[in-house]
Amino acid sequence: MSQRTKKNSDRRRTINRGRQASADRTMVGMAQTHTDAQNTNRQDVLHHHADWLGRTVFYEVYPQSFADSNADGIGDLPGLTEKLGYIRDLGCTGVWINPCFDSPFRDAGYDISDYLRVAPRYGTNEDLVRLFSKAHDLGMHVLLDLVPGHTSDRHPWFRASQKWDPADRQGLSDRYIWTGSAFENGASMPFVAGESDRDGAYITNFFAFQPALNYGYLRQDKPWQQPVDSPAAESTREAIRHIMRFWLSKGCDGFRVDMADSLVKNDDDDKSGTIDTWRRILTPIKQEYPQAAFVSEWGRPWQSLAAGFDMDFYLDWGWVPNGYNLLVRRAKNQLDRTGDESYFTADSDADPTAFLADYLGQYERSKDLGSFSFITCNHDSPRLAPRLTPRELRLAYTLLLTMPGVPYVYYGDEIGMRYRNLPNKEGGYARTGSRTPMQWDGSANAGFSQAPADRLYLPVDPAGDAPNVAAQKDDPDSLLSFMHALIALRHDHDGPSQALRPSADLTIVFAHRGHRPFVYLRSTEQERILVALNPGTEEENVQTALRCKAVTPLLHVGQARCTADKDGYDGPDGYDGPATHDTEGRNGVRIELGPQSMGIFQLD
């Protein structure tokens, strides 16, 4: 048995053990009642992470745009199931599926009308269970997208809650947040009035058709604002636990949670009400399903991970701007390089210090709690291409996949799919251009669907040079081949004692104001991996104070050379001071980087 085959076999055995343990707990879990709320704040439970999580690279799939199996023009679960082998071959062992539950699709499925039923356009519940099973056979794990903050206004809960007579509301009068009368506003919260028989206005979270579920108010200013520990808020929490248990019992491996930081209203700056709410929700779920994983759309990891999530996303906050935006998205027009100040844009003069000023504090505050995860993109953000070139993408992906945390690859980013200026589809608006069909080959509809082109969910990229999987898979110089190599390298060094595991140490070796190179060290007591990046157009040399006996090149783009010091290994941590740029007279590791280059090296 080869080493790689043995690793896959070991992963399957781990999955099966976890699956059996989860199955044994299913009946107990489904029988839990409101007493779950009393069993909260168990730190050992909240901060336990699934055994498989540390060796996972996730792949986000927008299901309506990935693979159409029945020629109706919309991607579906059977199509995705058929393509799991491609995702696994890429090296991604986790899949996050955007919402696939029943919905009117006025916000592309983030307006759910039935949490326990797969939307017919994607298939059936049985199709989703088959997808779970196939993924587990391949040594993969699947996260579903949970939207706990609001529903569609067509959800049966809301239809009952909006009735005039309380006796007709099926006990759901307070499942949503209603003001005292139809003429009373939302008290600083967005609201909709005059659309229901009920004498009240309802609070919304995003669009008008997305009424907010009631998790209570930390500060109550109005009689209709209920506290976090109210029976109504606990009833909502229990409803979310039931949804989680339903899908976990069928083989789901966890959830990405939409707008996770927005549950409790009038919360304080520390989000103490929302953190407490998630602890109440997640403690019993994690006790029953210890191999489940949870990632939040939150963006403040010291809060989200304290709440019990395993991962939080480093999101694109262009209005701040935050560190992620400074790396790859600091442009006024996502289709135009003019004035692009992103660090990874070759003709930018940006250095890595602004990124680090935002990132390092968040990393230090949260690194012992879980993962602050980098993304290549997501369904809410413009793709990096075509604004970044394939060479620039290689350098950017190197950082995104070698920094601490569990990384996420958005479908099609591995081949350089392009953001496009498209009209609104299902509430996507400016986001629509990142949600186009996956480009599998050069055939009609890029191999996405056999439906007529005018029936496709969105039009495929019509450009003659539009990237596709088939054209790149056998090309050793393609972006897809580079991504294969980069993810494989990560897996070769993501074991419990290895330097590219999510929790391995991070040391900044070189990052100076006014200088383009960025060099950092990932390390454990047993292994050290050095990553050196130069996104600029000039050759750069970096002399460091690192000490080692030998250097092993692992992967490079362009010209990248690293040479060991003359004096040999100096201490177990191999680091004895700050780096200097282009300075002679030191005997530490020296790095030479050509224009737009990167190198990854193992230091022994």
Contact 408, 60 (CB under 8 A): yes
| Domain presence at residue 182 | yes
Mean per-residue pLDDT, 28-37: 40
Q: What is the pLDDT of residue 565?
A: 72
Closest CA to 87 of 140, 132, 128, 50: 140
Structure tokens that stand for 238 in this block: 């229990």
| Domain presence at residue 512 | yes
Return the higher-pLDDT residue of 332 and 391: 391
Where does a domain end: 185, 212, 239?
A: 212
Q: What is the 3-state secondary structure (H, E, C) of 243-308?
A: HHHHHHCCCCCEEEECCHHHCCECCCCCCHHHHHHHHHHHHHHHHHCCCCEEEECCCCHHHHCCCC
Q: Any idea what the CATH number is for the domain that residue 201 is in?
A: 3.90.400.10
| % of the chain exceeding 70 in pLDDT | 90
Mean per-residue pLDDT, 83-101: 98
223 prior amide bond cis, ω within 30 = no
SS3 content of the chain, % helix, strand, coil (to 5): 30, 15, 50
Q: What is the 3-state secondary structure (H, E, C) of 503-532?
A: CCEEEEEECCCCCCCEEEEEECCCCEEEEE
| Domain presence at residue 383 | no
| Domain presence at residue 598 | yes
Closest CA to 140 of 50, 51, 19, 52: 52
Mean per-residue pLDDT, 101-119: 98
> CA dihedral in degrees (312, 205, 249, 74; nearest 10)?
-90
Beta bridge partners of 592: 541, 561
This prediction's pTM:
0.91
Overall residue count recorded for the chain in this entry:
604
601: phi then psi, degrees, rounded to nearest 5: -135, 145
Distances (CA, A) of 488 to 410, 481, 523: 17, 11, 18
Where does a domain end: 188, 212, 236?
A: 212
Q: Please list, in sequence order, all residues whose beta carbon lies within 8 angstroms of the beta carbon of residue 66, skipping any fewer than 6 positions away.
A: 75, 79, 80, 83, 411, 437, 438, 448
Q: What is the pLDDT of residue 41?
A: 67
Q: Looking at residue 369, what DSSP letter applies?
A: T
Mean per-residue pLDDT, 352-379: 98
Q: Any idea what the CATH number is for the domain that residue 509 is in?
A: 2.60.40.1180
Q: Rounded to whole angstroms, how far apart are CA atoms 412 and 479?
A: 11
Q: What is the pLDDT of residue 585?
A: 36
Return the higher-pLDDT residue of 25 and 194: 194
Q: What is the pLDDT of residue 42?
A: 86
Beta bridge partners of 514: none
Q: Rounded to whole angstroms, how far apart are CA atoms 221 and 217?
A: 9
Q: Rounded to whole angstroms, how far apart are CA atoms 128 and 78?
A: 8
- Residue range of the domain that includes 595: 505-603
| Domain presence at residue 205 | yes
**pLDDT at position 182 over 50:** yes
- Within 110-254, residue ranges assigned H as helices are 125-137, 156-161, 231-248
Mean per-residue pLDDT, 372-395: 98
| % of the chain exceeding 90 in pLDDT | 88
Where does a domain end: 169, 196, 212?
A: 212
pLDDT-based confidence at 28, cuts 50/70/90?
very low
| Domain presence at residue 257 | no
Count of Cβ atoms closer than 10 Å to residue 198 Cβ: 19
pLDDT-based confidence at 212, cuts 50/70/90?
very high
Distances (CA, A) of 440 to 58, 88, 597: 19, 16, 29
Query: Residue written as tokens 């002679």?
Result: 584
| Domain presence at residue 439 | no
**pLDDT tens-place string over residues 418-442:** 999 999 999 999 999 999 999 999 9
Q: Lowest mean pLDDT: which of 77-81, 266-270, 563-567?
A: 563-567
What domain count does the chain have?
2
Question: Radius of gyration of the chain from Cα atoms?
Answer: 25
Q: Rounded to whole angstroms, how far apart are CA atoms 216 and 263?
A: 8
Return the higher-pLDDT residue of 129 and 332: 129
**pLDDT at position 35 over 50:** no
Query: Residue written as tokens 């307070």?
Result: 174
Contact 217, 178 (CB under 8 A): no
